[in-house]
Amino acid sequence: MPNQSLLDRLAIRDLVENWAVWRDAGDWERFATVWHEEGWMSATWFQGPAADFIRVSREGFAKGVRILHFLGGTSIDLEGARAIAQTKMTISQRAPVHDVLCDVVCTGRFYDFLEKRGGRWGIVRRQPIYEKDRIDPVDPAAAIRLDAEKLAALPEGYRHLAYMQELIGYKVKRDMPMLTGAEVDKLYTQGRDWLAGKAS
């Protein structure tokens, strides 16, 4: 018979996968169930309560915004009723860039602070880590010329994603955690503190 640790890990992985499938499919009622009430979401274009993230995601979806997610492996650190889950992922977004329809793909990790309450795991905080990205015209025969100075001023781990998002009107946060650096080191420290039982 499986032990509790294995059952918890399976439940967490299920939750992480449901987040991506339900959000990208626009299944907003079920998407809301992966969060605890005070859940907090951070992204390049949004930082705030999960309830607000659901609302603005829903509004964007209705307008045709498509920010899609694909998941890879998950590593889970489990301490009683708390966990940190890191899940390899890609974020893809399609939009016009200087009148050329393009796809941006950003590779990174979801870094999730989770807690089990009343027998149910939920996300308390989700912080993506942005590792690298690229941009390609949807039509391989199309040519695109980016503003090199503007691109170079954006954070290396998500500069093409940020470039596209700013062009279509989003305000992009410039100090998100990347593969290395002070921000991701701070995040790892916060993760250790969460597992140790400290307040979020």
Q: Where are the domains of the chain?
A: 4-182
What is the CB neighbour count within 10 angstroms for residue 22?
17
- Percent of the chain beyond pLDDT 90? 96
What pLDDT is recorded for position 151?
A: 97
Angle at 37 between CA 39 and CA 13, to 5 degrees: 60
Confidence of residue 19 (pLDDT cuts 50, 70, 90): very high
How many Å apart are CA 166 and CA 185, to the nearest integer?
27
Confidence of residue 200 (pLDDT cuts 50, 70, 90): low
What pLDDT is recorded for position 199?
A: 81
What is the CB neighbour count within 10 angstroms for residue 73?
10
pLDDT, the chain, mean? 96
Condensed to tens digits (0 to 9), the pLDDT of residues 44-99 reads 999 999 999 999 999 999 998 889 999 999 999 999 999 999 999 999 999 999 99
Condensed to tens digits (0 to 9), the pLDDT of residues 21-56 reads 999 999 999 999 999 999 999 999 999 999 999 999
What pLDDT is recorded for position 66?
A: 87
The helix (run of H) or strand (run of E) holding residue 68 is strand 67-79
Please give the CATH number for the structural domain made up of 4-182.
Answer: 3.10.450.50
**Among 188, 192, 156, 151, CA closest to 175:** 156
Note the pTM of the prediction, 2 decimals: 0.95
